[in-house]
Amino acid sequence: MGKNGMTNGCNKSKLNLKPGTLRSTACHRCLSFHDRIRQMHGIFLMMVTIPQLGVCNNVFRFDKQIDAVVTAEMEKQQIVGAAIGIIQDSKIVYTRGYGWANLKTKTPVTNETVFNWASNSKPLISIAALQLVESGQLMLDEPIASYCPQLPPQLRRITSRQLLCHQSGIPHYSNGTVIPSKERSGSDGRYNTLDDINPRNSIGRFIRSPLLFESGHRTSYSSYAYVLLTAVVQAAGKDAIEKQLENRIIDPLKLESFQLDLPANGQANWTLAYETRNGKITEVPDYAHFWKHGAGGYKSNVKDFAKFAIALSGSKLIHPELTDKMWTRQKTGDGNESVYGLGVLVSDHGERLKVSHSGSQDETRTRMVIYPHRKHGVVVMCNTQGSNPARITTAIYTALRESILKRPD
């Protein structure tokens, strides 16, 4: 069996093109610059639209090329451990771990290694919210006080849509004044009481904070807004948030390693975290992000991360009409279009539509990129501060493109 659960070895099949699609090698040097660009673009489009290209008899044939570029990028960035997943034709065709989950014990990163999702938790709680919209339990443009009547005045008129697309005006961690509840005043903000497993309690960390601007008038990224969104989903769904996620997302997708980022206590397969300073690698102390919930409190192995990416791209969890809304760039009150849909970043449109999100915490850097209409994508998880997983996704796509171009006729 191969590294990704597929058998090794496969006879290479030729890329069958219609006559005239590509000119002969002898004439290639005569092509104009624009002809060459069009030629390469055509091949790339075929690579990303033909189902399972790069896969033959259930074998992913470009594993060596992918392994080479991922390890090279890890060396450039001094990344201790990483895991990647490649999606084609809405299926996971390749996953692999690289480097170390624990340097001291020389425990390698594998497909089973559990990483924090960080802010890639946001698309998941967004799906949970949109499921309630679909069932009529949550209205996108209803003030959230309808579901959480205990909220203070400055938060009551915010809508779920504004929370989803970062137009609430709620500050992020350090871009505004953050004022906790009176009960928490004087704390250093890193107490992590287990009471915050309930998101209704977590919002006490910022509940008295003034808004940066009137809701709906601007766009400003906010994780606190997604903590509040989790509390809204819990209230509107009339059940504990963990039960809602389990019933509507985790169990249907069979996310066997998915979990909340509780305080470390010998949990199986968890990676440690690292940072590199002046060429020296040191371990980063664990910090439990469970209180963030849908803002950044979830974790899993790369296989389950990729499963969720497939579900996100294929309308497996919500109706296609709501999926289209999720992937539509939202406008502010003055008509300006932002880069955010409902819980995701949105680029381009039509067949080129790209949906993505990144995650960053002391213990992790993550990246999810999907092209829904082309049914492919890449997910990356790293355990090293300062790493840039977007450079790994780019390297993977470049390697796939070049592997197609280099194949013999």
pLDDT digits (tens, 9 = 90+) for 38-53: 444 444 444 444 334 5
d(CA 309, CA 368): 7
Output the six-digit token pair for 49: 């639209």
pLDDT tier at 190, thresholds 50, 70, 90 = low
End-to-end Cα distance, the chain: 28
Output the six-digit token pair for 92: 């996971």
Distances in whole angstroms, Cα of residue 323 to Cα of each of 123, 127, 328? 12, 9, 9
Instruction: Supply the DSSP symbol for 138.
Output: -
pLDDT digits (tens, 9 = 90+) for 298-327: 999 999 999 999 999 988 999 999 999 999
Q: Which residue has the tokens 């960390």?
A: 205
Other C-beta atoms lying within 10 Å of the C-beta of residue 212: 18
Q: Which residue has the tokens 């910022």?
A: 206
Across 252-258, average pLDDT: 98
pLDDT tier at 60, thresholds 50, 70, 90 = confident
pTM of the model: 0.86
Long-range contacts of 60-65 (CB under 8 A, 24+ apart): 60/2, 60/4, 60/6, 60/86, 60/93, 60/94, 61/10, 61/12, 62/399, 62/400, 62/403, 63/2, 63/3, 63/4, 63/94, 63/96, 65/399, 65/400, 65/402, 65/403
pLDDT digits (tens, 9 = 90+) for 141-171: 999 999 999 999 999 999 999 999 999 999 9
pLDDT digits (tens, 9 = 90+) for 349-403: 899 999 999 999 999 999 999 999 999 999 999 999 999 999 999 999 999 988 8
Contacts of 26 (CB under 8 A, 6+ apart): none
Provide the H-helix boundaries in 175-217.
199-202
Distances in whole angstroms, Cα of residue 5 to Cα of each of 58, 100, 156, 218, 401? 9, 21, 50, 47, 23
Share of residues in the chain with pLDDT > 70 (%): 83
Characterize 126-140 residue by residue with b for buried, 16 or more Cβ atoms within 10 angstroms of its Cβ, and e for exposed.
bbbbbbbbeeeebbb
> What's residue 397's pLDDT?
95
